[in-house]
Amino acid sequence: MRSILRLLVEKGMLVKEKVNGRDEFKLPVPQAAAKTKALHEFVKNFFANSVADAALALLGHQKTKLTDEEADQLSRLIEEARKK
């Protein structure tokens, strides 16, 4: 396990810090940026770069339930995307 972590640090995929005498490993970018990048890669690889297909797959699931706030936010984002 240590050798894998060492390789990830060497490749810049993780950052190693000493905290209270223990090694702690973190992402080299903020978590939000890492999530966004991972999601874009996922959409590119599994949905042929189609954001609409990815959204339809998520929202079309029978168990998907959105709060009113989430639905409003998605509606605003869809309207903004239409204007681009």
pLDDT of residue 61: 83
pLDDT of residue 46: 97
Type of residue at 53: D
pLDDT at 84 over 90: no
Reported pTM: 0.62
Buried b / exposed e over 10-41, threshold 16 CB at 10 Å, is eeeebeeeeeeeeeeeeeeeeeeeeeeeeeee
**Per-residue model confidence as pLDDT tens digits over 31-54:** 899 899 999 999 999 999 999 999
